[in-house]
Chains A and B, each alone.
Chain A
Amino acid sequence: MAARTKHDWADDEDIEETTNDLPPPQKIQNKDGSTTIIEYRYNENGQKVKTTRRIRYITHREVVSPLVAERKTWAKFGASAKDPPGPASDTTSVGENIIFRPSVNWKKEAKDESKDPNAQAMKDKLKDKKVKCRICNGEHFTARCPYKDTMAPIGETAPADVAAGLGDEAPGAAGPGKKGSYIPPALRAGARPEGDRLGGKYGERDDMATLRVTNVSELAEESELREMFERFGRVTRVFLAKDRETGLAKGFAFISFADRADAVRACQKMDGFGFKHLILRVEFAKKAQ
């Protein structure tokens, strides 16, 4: 009855009812010396939960020197004088479990793990995602592809030489292999009329043979762009738009070639090229209106 008067009106009323119809906890001595304890309780959803625990008590005998045994019987003193036998909860507690396994290549393991909490979270997220290179279909990021400098991504128009290169490295990659891999709409073969993309190329063309590169990474540098485009011919000018305050790239750049033919080739090859985790879009610059 005393318990009932203490019961606060704000408490969940179910508690009292539910505790009534729970079967009493059972203790069963098993033949093998262990004890099974069965307990019932309600979880927060009001469902009945049966907990079965099998416990085996193991008496651990340790032979200690008589000195140690004697010291265990010493009376407590000082600030602990009034403490009951056994560890006092205010001074002694048990910490969380620490897994400590010495290992020779400890540093390597720990580095992978502790590099960055974000990296770890990302790793967990991508754990069951397959990484697929857009250049050679291998299991690595496109940016890490050994062929990234020599080949264009496969989803692209795939000029003859690229296709030939692919044949060696990843047979069938161009066919059913790439089925199911996501291709951004901008890169889909039929998604965009050829004329649109290359509109500037043949129609209102720029005498300067200047390419407009968009979707450039914030971290890109002019020198990097120059290096990439110089493979196709002499580059006369590289302009990378940068934010005046932060110094980060704004995401687009202009590359001028000395020779128009080079520019055409560069445009073909570099459109859709993966650079710093972004896919470049390369087209001929339109004349200012």
Chain B
Amino acid sequence: MEMAHPLRGEVVKLYKNLLYLGREYPKGADYFREKLKKAFMKNRDVKDPEKIKELIERGEFVIKELEALYFLKKYRAMKQRYYEDDKDR
């Protein structure tokens, strides 16, 4: 049997963290999970550690983007509900 790839743990961790974030995705957790799985499966055959690291970095970038998206969505909702008269919306 083939040995597990040394970066396997990191990839699984990234997947779990993204899956957790996906629970709040505006289009729904199911939609997100499907997309997420597809994105990971597309790269299942990548073996080069450098390339895998690059992909992990991209995943971490997506995490930051999602966090920013959720923050902005909530901030805008609060602003619209509680600060209606503000001109700098």
The answer to whether A and B come from one shared complex is no
Hey, which bits of chain A sit against chain B, CB under 8 A?
none
Hey, which bits of chain B sit against chain A, CB under 8 A?
none
